[in-house]
Chain A
Amino acid sequence: MSPSLNDTILIWTLRGFAVIAGAIALLIVVFLILEALPVLRQVGLWRFFTDASWNPAEELYNLTPMLWGTLLAMAGSVLIATPLGVLSAVFCQYYAPPRISSLYRRLIELLAGIPSVVYGFWGLVVLVPLIGRLHPPGTSLLAGIAILTIMILPTIALTADASFAKVPPDYLRGAAALGLSRWATVRGVVFPAAKSGLFTGLILETGRAIGETMAILMVCGNVVQTPKSLFDPMRTLTANIALEMAYATGNHRSALFVSGLVLMGIIVALVAAAEVLKPSA
């Protein structure tokens, strides 16, 4: 075979693979919509936010309790994990001696690799009973926030660590020459210099918090209600899908796909907001 014929075959084969890879995202959107249509046509989107509650057996489809669950869990975990994670990165880069720093980094990387089901399991067996002793039943928003915090902390810590590593050493030398203390340097020089990397880390961890399913499902209880206190059991959008999908049929199943679309919508909104709010480098 002539070289140019070989090359033509190669490029068409590669194009074929790339088309498959590129088509998946499109297929996902298409199939989500297709499966969500039946209930949307029959019931309409408005009722997903205004019905009395979520009880598909009685044709009630209000997603708001689960939406609140998702948003509260996300907000709580991001609020706690971000300072913990960023300061962990500060520790790694600027306070720890080299050996401890690399050990600590290795530890965070391992934390990042633990599957969510293992976190959920540990949360269920250890954390929930602990909280339950404070205020029964134990499975609660608080447990969800705690587990989620542990899970997203590595994300922000590793991203922050990478951004800090990119700060030009000249800045640090300049600060030292001015007699700035370590903390003043970190706060006044490093944070502003690394702000776009930190922002990216924030978006990543928020996305992770919104999308997390298994761990939060295992520790939050199974109650459809808008949590009014930290100790109330609740459900997130993701947990809702995971719990009910196995036995849902007809409109119920279709409604779960609607909540899947709502979830995607939240993520898209997050990414869009990130684009708008992104700090200029």
Chain B
Amino acid sequence: MSESSFSTASNRQFSTWLVWAIALFVTTIFLWILSDIIWHGARQLNWEFLTTAPRSAGRKGGIAPIIVSTALILGVCMAVSVPVGVGTAVLLAEFTDTENQFGRLVRRSLDVLAGVPSIVFGLFGNAFFCKTLGLGFSILSGGLTLACMVLPILIRSTEEGFRAVPSHYRLSAAALGISRTTTLWQLLLPAAVPGLVVGLVLGVGRAIAETAALIFTSGYVDRMPESLLDSGRALSIHIFDLSMNVSGGDANAYASALVLLVLLLLINGTAAWMAEHWLHRRITPS
């Protein structure tokens, strides 16, 4: 049977051409977006921009209070989601012998949580944290709402970190009569840290990009926050406000978008570097 029974030369040429064309198209779009933001954003970006407060509804001035608010919101988010997330992950990964039923329920619930759209988190945060718990529009409300969003990512990654620890550590520790608490703290947790950190960084990346969940939980106020109960504006919300509600705000919006992208690049780059570096360190000694 000749080759041409399966496909003609022109057929093959067409499919190759098509696939390369698509790849080129996607690359072009990406470069278009990126270059547009860098070009317009870099013009406004300087040290003054990062350290002064916004003036004239953000058209002029900088984003210093916004950076602070963003950091605080992230801080609250991490402070709450890390203990809850790691604790849950440890229970799900290490105690399946005693917690099978309960663990399955928790896992099912987390799967549902992972599928909830961010605007619905915003609604929930508004109803639960702002209204019912009386926290109002505040950094605390925003951070807590983000913590709920980030939890499934954190738990999944930490769980994988624990599952990656070889099982013979647990068996030999048990054979020596070492309690599960000591085994956890001295042996398993240090070994599972890379998974934990990767999850943490992924979570931070997701949180910092989030807008919809923060609009009506952490508020719009662009002044420097004095406490966690103050309303604060996150970077993503600032970009939104400048582009939609403030005429002439585009220039600073570009700069803020650039700052956000650079932050994300740093965060993801750190995660990749950490994962590789630590993984490397563990494999070397043996």
Contact = CB atoms under 8 A, between A and B. Distances in A.
B117 A211 contact: yes
Q: Which of A9, A115, A267 counts the most B-chain CB atoms under 10 A from its CB?
A: A115
Interface of B: 1, 3, 6-7, 11-12, 15-16, 18-20, 22-23, 25-27, 29-30, 32-33, 36-37, 83-88, 90-92, 95, 98-99, 102-103, 105-106, 109-110, 112-113, 115-124, 126-128, 132, 148, 151, 155, 177-182, 184, 205, 208-212, 215-216, 236-237, 239-240, 243-244, 250, 253-254, 257, 260-261, 264, 268
Given A19-B106, A20-B84, A121-B239, 13 more contacts: A22-B88, A25-B110, A104-B27, A107-B26, A107-B27, A114-B33, A115-B236, A115-B260, A117-B239, A117-B240, A126-B32, A181-B3, A213-B212
A241 B84 contact: no
Given A180-B6, A256-B123, A260-B120, A27 B264 contact: no
B23 A96 contact: yes
A211 B118 contact: yes
A113 B121 CA distance: 20
Interface string A4-35: 10110111011111111111111110011011
Interface stretch (A44-52, A86-94, A193-201, A224-232): A86-94
Contacts of A171: none
Nearest to A6: B181
Interface of A: 3-4, 6-7, 9-11, 13-28, 31-32, 34-35, 84, 87-88, 90-91, 95-96, 104, 107-108, 110-111, 113-122, 124-126, 150, 153, 179-184, 207, 210-214, 218, 238, 241-242, 245-246, 256-257, 260, 263-264, 267, 271
B212 A214 contact: yes
Contacts of B85: 21
A87 B123 contact: no
Q: Which of B26, B83, B105, B148 counts the most A-chain CB atoms under 10 A from its CB?
A: B26
